[in-house]
A = this chain, B = another copy of it.
Amino acid sequence: MREIEETLESKGIRPTAMRILIYKYMVEKEIALALTDIENAFIKSDRTTLYRTLKTFEENGIVHQIDDGTGTAKYAICEEHCNCELEQDLHLHFHCNSCDETVCLTEHKIPHINLPEGYKAKDVNLVVKGICDKCSGQ
């Protein structure tokens, strides 16, 4: 708890009760979460607060946003020393068509992509869809 407070403070944001709870929840879940997911977990709090909390987290490099192709944005806690606010977040994401969960595969970095003449890459997004380990293990 104290640890989470320090993490938030170290990233320059004030560790309010709400923020600590949301951070804790996201760490425990281990999968990427949509605003709606968090909304359902914190029914006593307002959507806008959760929305702005995620935005603040993102702006301060606490979470990164993931576009997994489902149409709704997902968010996941950044790794310890990730600096995705500065550079791009290089790991790939996996979306399971069976359980509908999206996870960060932080160990799996995105390979270098070469582009035609004149194109300059700033960011790369790689999402693999299929069946996750939990679902294929049945």
Contact = CB atoms under 8 A, between A and B. Distances in A.
A12 interface: no
A124 B113 contact: no
Given A67-B67, A131-B120, A115 B126 contact: no
A124 B124 CA distance: 13
B126 A130 contact: no
Interface of A: 67, 69, 71, 73, 92, 94, 97, 105, 107-108, 111, 113-134, 136-137
In the A-B complex, the 5 residue pairs with the smallest Cβ-Cβ separation, listed nearest first, are: A118-B133, A122-B130, A123-B129, A121-B130, A120-B131
Contact of A115 (B113, B115, B128, B137): B128
A116 B122 contact: no
Contact of A127 (B73, B105, B124, B133): B124
Nearest to A118: B133
